[in-house]
């Protein structure tokens, strides 16, 4: 019986910014004990809340140029978990996605009994070894002016910009909640 290559099904990739995003994808099917030595920072459980864009019920015909007559799209939010495995502190400073015209880091707070959102001006700090959750009711990535309907099960590229790790592109799954 011949065994081809390593029995380890996990890819081992460098911890460069580009390598990190690949490593995140490669690690999806790996057991918890088979973590590559590289990434100090993992981005997990990335999802975007589903949103409907008016006038998007009919798919545009190819070649028609799809005149967009419905102005600025609605807002939605992206959520995820950042897991640091030690090393140095990092900071989520910005994010971007093709499906939104603007993206901001926000925090939901209750002030005098009223729930409101504030932009997080200094980014989201990630202490070495810590886990930071962006979740409904707390920190989130606000997607403004969404250009197309995001239906449950869709996948959206979300690029996260870290002060130290650089840009990391994650596949966000669209969910209702």
Which residues inside 129-148 make contact with Cu ion, applying CB under 5 A? Answer: 142
Applying CB under 5 A, among 117, 135, 171, 175 the residue interacting with Cu ion is: 117
Shortest distance, CB of residue 77 to Cu ion, whole angstroms?
A: 6
For 94, the token pair is: 């910005």
Ramachandran region, residue 37 (left: φ > 0; alpha: ψ -120 to 50; beta: rest)? alpha
Query: Which residue has tokens 């459980």?
Result: 45
Shortest distance, CB of residue 127 to Cu ion, whole angstroms?
A: 23
Which residues inside 53-112 make contact with Cu ion, applying CB under 5 A? Answer: 106
Shortest distance, CB of residue 103 to Cu ion, whole angstroms?
A: 10
The smaller minimum CB distance to Cu ion, of residues 41 and 78, is found at 78
Identify whether the C-beta of residue 93 lies closer than 8 Å to the C-beta of residue 161.
yes
In angstroms, the Cα distances linking 125 to 23, 134, 137 are 22, 12, 18
The smaller minimum CB distance to Cu ion, of residues 20 and 48, is found at 48
Sequence-separated (6 or more) residues with CB below 8 Å from residue 71: none
Shortest distance, CB of residue 116 to Cu ion, whole angstroms?
A: 9
Residues that bind Cu ion (CB under 5 A): 106, 117, 142
């Amino acid at each position: 019986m011949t065994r081809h290559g390593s029995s380890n099904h996990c890819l081992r990739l460098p911890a460069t910014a580009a390598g990190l995003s690949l490593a995140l994808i490669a690690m999806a099917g790996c057991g918890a004990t088979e973590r590559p030595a590289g990434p100090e920072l993992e981005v997990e459980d990335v999802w975007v809340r589903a949103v409907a864009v008016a006038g998007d019920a009919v798919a545009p015909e190819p070649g028609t140029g799809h005149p967009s007559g419905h102005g600025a799209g609605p807002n939605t939010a992206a959520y995820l978990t950042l897991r640091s495995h030690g090393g140095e502190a990092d900071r989520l400073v910005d994010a971007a996605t093709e499906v939104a015209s603007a993206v901001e880091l926000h925090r939901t707070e209750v002030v005098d009994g009223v729930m409101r959102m504030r932009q997080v001006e200094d980014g989201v700090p990630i202490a070495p070894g810590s886990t930071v959750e962006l979740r409904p009711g707390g920190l989130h990535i606000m997607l403004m002016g969404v250009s197309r309907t995001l239906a449950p099960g869709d996948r959206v590229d979300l690029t996260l910009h870290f002060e130290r790790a650089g840009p990391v592109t994650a596949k966000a799954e669209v969910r209702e909640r």
